[in-house]
Amino acid sequence: MNISNMKNHFLLILFVVALKSFASVPEKKDSSPDGIYKPDFSLDTALVNDSTRVWFMGANGNFNLNQVSFTNWAEGGESTLAGNVFGVFKATYLKKKFKADNYLLMAYGITWNGEQGVRKTDDKIEVGTAVGYEVFENWYYSLIANLKSQFSNGYKYPDDSTLVSTFLAPANFLLSLGMEYKPNKFTSVFISPASGKFIFVANQELANKGAFGVTPAVRDSLGNVLIPGSDYKAKFGFNFILNYHKDIIKNVNLSSKLNLHNNYMDENSDNRWNVDVDWETAFNFKINSFLSSMIYMHFLYDHDIKIPQYEKVDGIKTQVGSGPRLQMKQNFGIGVSIKV
């Protein structure tokens, strides 16, 4: 299956989910913030109806740990220790027709084994706000701002000396003005004809390489930098965001976010109708009051991010080019869940 067909299948699944939710009977709306990690968090209907209260806050965290140990094991094997932690804090302001959803999300994971040492498996920090004013039933004028980055260095494993990312390299900032349709508390659709997307690379070494779509450095024939690479790239275009968050069966919650963005101002006019796809989906399973598990998937296709392409040349893995590719990340964990 080629990338185009895979993208079409992904979009089809999300739109079927959306249509199903649109067909359901509208329920009392809650105002859950934009963001993928939303396990076991909702606003109490009685509190929402309390006109004296305008702020609603909640937090949720999970810690997962996996360990395997071998001693004199005849069949072989390698001891490993892996763990990841994530947490989300949400603060929502509701007053009459005005709402403001604010959130902070953090995730970090590492794995260790005797041969490879410590490696990063997950790293994410995201902060955002969505401000809206209801103009028609279920329709809001909305402004969305969102910043994504990571905490620590990322390397081109198994090469742990080649840096590929670090704090604020990249940092993705999204600012969109548009309309939000929220037919029920499970679904929201945001459409913006005027959306700015800014990619920052606050590391000159990576900027000189043209990482994450910024303009690379100009070099002479010896590789010396004549003009440093740009440390940012700005895009302006259309933005579509679909959020779905619902308990699909008892103790199983589905949370999915699809973000589509194109660039009206691309220097290459042939690319101005290209659409970048960012789709995150999480299944959250509640085991009991303290234990939970999660399956998390992230699919990303960005036309400006060039992924190295390799082939075996004389038995050696050799880079033969680079270009946009479908990026995928999957995580499964079971551990302790804390909710306040």
Per residue in 150-193, pLDDT (tens digit) is 999 999 887 888 899 999 999 999 999 999 999 998 999 999 99
Pick the closest to residue 298 from 24, 39, 37 (CA basis).
Answer: 37
User: In this model, does residue 13 exceed pLDDT 60?
Assistant: no
- Percent of all residues in the chain with a pLDDT value above 70, rounded to a whole number: 84
Beta bridge pairs of residue 292: 286, 335
User: Rounded distance, CA 218 to CA 229, Å?
Assistant: 7
d(CA 157, CA 279) in angstroms, rounded, equals 24
Higher pLDDT, 36 or 287: 287
Full-model pTM: 0.78
- How far the first Cα of the chain sits from its last, in Å, is 44
Amino acid at 228: P
Task: List beta partners, residue 219.
Answer: 225
Q: What is the mean pLDDT of the chain?
A: 82
Q: Is the pLDDT of residue 28 over 50?
A: no
Is-cis flag, bond preceding 324, omega within 30? Answer: no
Specify the DSSP class assigned to residue 47. H
Residue ranges per structural domain of the chain = 3-301+327-335
C-beta contacts of 52-56 below 8 A and 24+ residues apart: 54/93, 54/94, 54/95, 55/91, 55/92, 55/93, 56/31, 56/91, 56/92, 56/94
The Cα-based distances of 144 to 52, 240, 302 in angstroms read: 26, 11, 20
Do residues 107 and 124 lie in contact, with contact meaning Cβ atoms separated by under 8 Å?
Answer: yes
Output the six-digit token pair for 78: 């390698």
What is the model's pLDDT at position 51?
59
